[in-house]
A and B are shown apart, each in its own frame.
Chain A
Amino acid sequence: MSSMLAADVNVAQNVGFYIIAAIMVFGALRVVSGRNVVHTALWLVVVLGGVAAQYLLAAAEFVAISQVMVYIGAVMVLFLFGIMLTRATIGEESDLNNKNWSIGIPVSLLLAGTLVWVIVDQYRGEVLASPDEPMSTTAISDVFLREGLVPFLALSFVLLAAAIGAIVLARKD
């Protein structure tokens, strides 16, 4: 893979990537810095939709569809219900951050610097080949139902336990 030339880089794909990535980073910054809880949830929708678009750029159709259905369809509805059930006030709030929230800035900058340094050191110049066709759902389901069968069944029990646990926790009695 690393023997491929930079000329193999698909320009249109790169331009699309940078546009979506800029929107995603802006949305993520609004999620962690916004003062209106409902608005931050809606900015999170933008970020999750951007992630789904990046999956499509990476030829991962099935994961992109799952992302849209599970995250934007189900998880965000849960978040909005959680916000509505726990917060009486709609609008700007001033006490959304901890007292010593500013310690998060050096921590996250240090983390980002370290990660970017390691990634660039390891993968500089490596070109991802654009696949001719998207990863087929048949190949994914083959892995799920052969090597991944036991984790798949365990995952269904995790979901069942989570559903029952959520009902038990949130029930009024």
Chain B
Amino acid sequence: MYAVNFLILAAVLFSIGVFGVIARRNAVMVLMSIELILNSVNLNLIAFAMMNNSPEGHVFALYVIAVAAAEVGVGLAMVLMIYRNRRSIALDELSVMKG
């Protein structure tokens, strides 16, 4: 298998995730796009581990999976809190901290 297969697939997924982060207004869907980005990075790590035949890439991928799980837990808790206070999770309405 060519190395570019994995790397280009990961680059395409990354770009789609970035588009989702920019375009989406719903906070939960922005979190889903961030998951796309993290998964594309993991694909890259596994491809490089395969290229060097070493387990370090797998270890980094597992770190990323664990941190992503923690991020989703805290992120969704924050979204729930915002929804409870404002009855909306539209990100363009969250301008309280704007100077």
Which A residues have a C-beta under 8 Å from some C-beta of B? 1, 9-10, 13-14, 17, 21, 24-25, 28-29, 31-32, 37, 40-41, 44, 47-48, 51, 54-55, 57-60, 62-63, 66-67, 70-71, 74-75, 78-79, 81-83, 85-87, 95-99, 101-105, 107-109, 111-112, 115-116, 119-120, 123-131, 135, 139-140, 142-144, 148, 151, 155, 158-159, 161-163, 165-167, 169-170, 172
Contacts and interface: CB of A to CB of B under 8 A. Distances in A.
Contact of A66 (B24, B27, B49, B62): B62
Main secondary structure of the interface of B (DSSP, over half): helix
Given A128-B47, A129-B53, A78 B16 contact: no
B89 A86 contact: yes
Contacts of B68: 70-71, 75
B94 interface: no
B73 interface: yes
A153 to B, nearest CB: 12
A166 B77 contact: yes
A166 B75 CA distance: 8
Contacts of A62: 58, 62
A21 B18 CA distance: 18
Nearest to B7: A119
30 contacts: A14-B1, A24-B9, A25-B13, A31-B36, A44-B35, A60-B58, A63-B62, A67-B42, A75-B68, A85-B80, A86-B27, A86-B89, A96-B26, A98-B92, A101-B23, A104-B20, A116-B11, A119-B8, A123-B7, A126-B2, A128-B3, A128-B51, A139-B55, A140-B58, A148-B59, A151-B63, A162-B70, A163-B70, A166-B74, A169-B81
Contacts of A82: 28, 31, 76, 79-80
